[in-house]
């Protein structure tokens, strides 16, 4: 079966990559029409934004499942296995089901390819596979993450009953443009008539754009900081303890086994979205025990995920300055390491200098490297960017990721175990970051399985 799975991946990789889009929904709309509009067989919670989408999706999946629904979840990109993108019952579909889903829609894909000057992209085919798999399951609800942008993303063939927009920042400027207002307009494109829009706190210029779209579509809006928000968080061993103001009630004693204030905000965003989905209001809140159980069970692979102790080694998929800023804040606020070494490998279309500048205040040294991806930034090019941010004494260059990790662990270990951080059990830390691909490869090196 693994041979069949790899054969499907080879076929998909011959198509336009996910980093390349054409502003049209014609091909994907035609595909789902030929498939019998599977996306109309279940309600959808649709998630757009720059960072935090996958974490919110996983939290929403957990919440809806604990409350008793069968949930499908579609996220991207994957860390290790493509099957991670399409989840049922909280787990990735099997390689066998992945292959079946591809072959089920393959004849319709071929029909569209034959008539279109631009064949379906890899992401469009994957979206068709996911929407069909959810209909076949069948699911009671689907949590669908936007791939890139919003308005012209393949997932926008769904009409989300709840539209969630996580924090918006500059990213993918080659495709979405360098204007944050323009990017916000793209993200807001997922808001459809009749939906409930659940919105994270945004920069003022972003908030204005999303508000205008919401008014145009005449939707109900719930804003973080107004209708819902984080009331309190305590940093504890293994994560944080939260008190959350939802749309319907205050939910206290919520243990979230993830680090960072940004994850607490992701949690309350997911909570509000779940409340909106169930129609919770002033007289009807979600079951507090189900909410507690759901959040306590949440996992977020590659999101400040610890894969080793003494010295502590974390993986974080921050791939833009906004994500790196959240990572830096977490290292500063949630830990008290005596020494932190960063291993950084980025894609060549990303703001490498911006990522490194956000990390510089909280790390004692950086090792630049590269993943095996053909889209990876060349190590020497990344080193040039790093020299504009770090002193030469704090910078090392390692062409191989495995070598970079070994060097980082050795440097961190020099700090010894004096003054252990009580939350990590280590006096020094290593964080591997810069791209999802880098983190996925590192995760495999540490023996992690796809999730």
The per-residue pLDDT for 171 is 59
Distance CA 434, CA 350 (A): 9
Provide the residue ranges of all domains of the chain, joining segments of one domain with +. 2-296, 303-445
Instruction: Tell me: cis bond preceding 311? Omega within 30 of 0 counts.
Output: yes
Looking at domain 303-445, its CATH superfamily turns out to be Mur ligase, C-terminal domain (3.90.190.20)
The per-residue DSSP string of 150-167 comes to: STTSGGGGS--SEEEE--
The per-residue pLDDT for 447 is 86
Give the architecture (CATH level 2) of 2-296: 3-Layer(aba) Sandwich (3.40)
Instruction: Give the CA angle between residues 354, 356, 359 to the nearest 5°.
Output: 115
| Tokens at 202, concatenated | 């945004």
The per-residue pLDDT for 309 is 87
* Alpha helix segments (H runs only) across 196-317: 204-217, 261-278, 288-296
φ, ψ of residue 50 in degrees (nearest 5): -90, -50
Length of the chain: 451
Distance CA 451, CA 338 (A): 32
The per-residue pLDDT for 169 is 84
Closest CA to 346 of 376, 316, 322: 376
Question: 3-state DSSP call for residue 10?
Answer: helix
Burial class of residue 161, CB neighbours in 10 A (0-12, 13-18, 19+): middle
Distance CA 147, CA 154 (A): 8
Distance CA 84, CA 256 (A): 22
Distance CA 375, CA 365 (A): 25
- Return all residues near 216 (Cβ < 8 A) that are at least 6 apart: none
The per-residue pLDDT for 419 is 47
10 Å Cβ neighbour count for 189? 18
| Tokens at 433, concatenated | 């970051």
> Cα–Cα distances in Å, from 226 out to 115, 158, 184, 201, 215?
49, 28, 20, 9, 17
**Contact, 441 vs 372, CB < 8 A?**
yes
pLDDT in tens, 426-444: 688 999 999 999 999 999 9
Distance CA 216, CA 256 (A): 36
| Tokens at 57, concatenated | 């999706």
Closest CA to 157 of 165, 147, 167: 147
Q: Which residues of the chain have pLDDT under 50?
A: 418-419
Predicted structure pTM score: 0.94
Burial class of residue 350, CB neighbours in 10 A (0-12, 13-18, 19+): buried
């Amino acid at each position: 079966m693994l041979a069949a799975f790899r054969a499907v991946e080879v076929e998909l990789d011959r198509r336009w990559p996910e980093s390349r889009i054409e502003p049209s929904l014609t091909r994907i709309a035609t595909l789902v029409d030929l498939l019998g509009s599977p996306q109309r067989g279940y309600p959808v919670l649709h998630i757009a934004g720059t960072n935090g989408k996958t974490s919110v999706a996983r939290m929403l999946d957990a919440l809806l499942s604990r409350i008793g629904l069968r949930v499908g979840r579609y996220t991207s990109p994957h860390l290790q296995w493509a099957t991670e993108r399409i989840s049922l019952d909280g787990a990735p579909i099997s390689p066998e089901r992945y292959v079946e889903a591809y072959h089920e829609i393959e004849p319709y894909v071929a029909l569209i390819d034959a008539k279109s000057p631009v064949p379906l992209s890899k992401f469009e085919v994957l979206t068709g596979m996911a929407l069909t798999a959810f209909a076949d399951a069948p699911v009671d609800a689907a949590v669908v993450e936007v791939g890139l942008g919003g308005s012209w993303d393949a997932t926008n063939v769904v009409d989300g009953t709840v539209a969630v927009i996580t924090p918006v920042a500059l990213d993918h400027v080659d495709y979405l443009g360098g204007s944050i207002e323009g990017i916000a307009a793209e993200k807001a494109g997922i808001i459809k008539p009749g939906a409930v829009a659940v919105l994270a706190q945004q920069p003022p210029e972003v908030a204005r754009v999303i508000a205008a779209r919401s008014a145009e579509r005449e939707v109900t809006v719930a804003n973080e900081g107004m209708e819902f928000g984080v009331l309190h968080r305590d940093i504890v061993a293994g994560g944080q303890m939260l008190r959350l103001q939802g749309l319907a009630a205050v939910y206290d004693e919520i243990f979230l086994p993830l680090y960072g204030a940004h994850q607490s905000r992701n949690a309350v965003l997911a909570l509000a979205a779940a409340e909106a989905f169930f129609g919770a209001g002033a007289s009807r809140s979600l079951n507090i025990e189900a909410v507690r159980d759901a959040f306590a069970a949440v996992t977020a692979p590659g999101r400040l995920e610890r894969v080793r102790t003494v010295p502590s080694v974390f993986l974080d998929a921050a791939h833009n300055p906004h994500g790196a800023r959240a990572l830096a804040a977490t290292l500063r606020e949630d830990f008290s390491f005596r020494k932190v070494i960063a291993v950084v490998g980025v894609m060549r279309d990303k703001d490498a200098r911006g990522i490194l500048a956000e990390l510089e205040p909280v790390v004692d040294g950086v090792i630049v490297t590269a993943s095996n991806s053909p889209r990876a930034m060349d190590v020497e090019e990344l080193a040039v960017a790093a020299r504009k941010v770090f002193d030469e004494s704090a910078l090392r260059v390692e062409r191989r990721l495995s070598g970079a990790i070994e060097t980082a662990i050795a440097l961190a270990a020099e700090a010894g175990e004096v003054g252990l951080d009580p939350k990590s059990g280590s006096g020094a830390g290593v964080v591997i970051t810069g791209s999802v691909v880098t983190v996925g490869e590192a995760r495999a090196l540490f023996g992690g399985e796809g999730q």
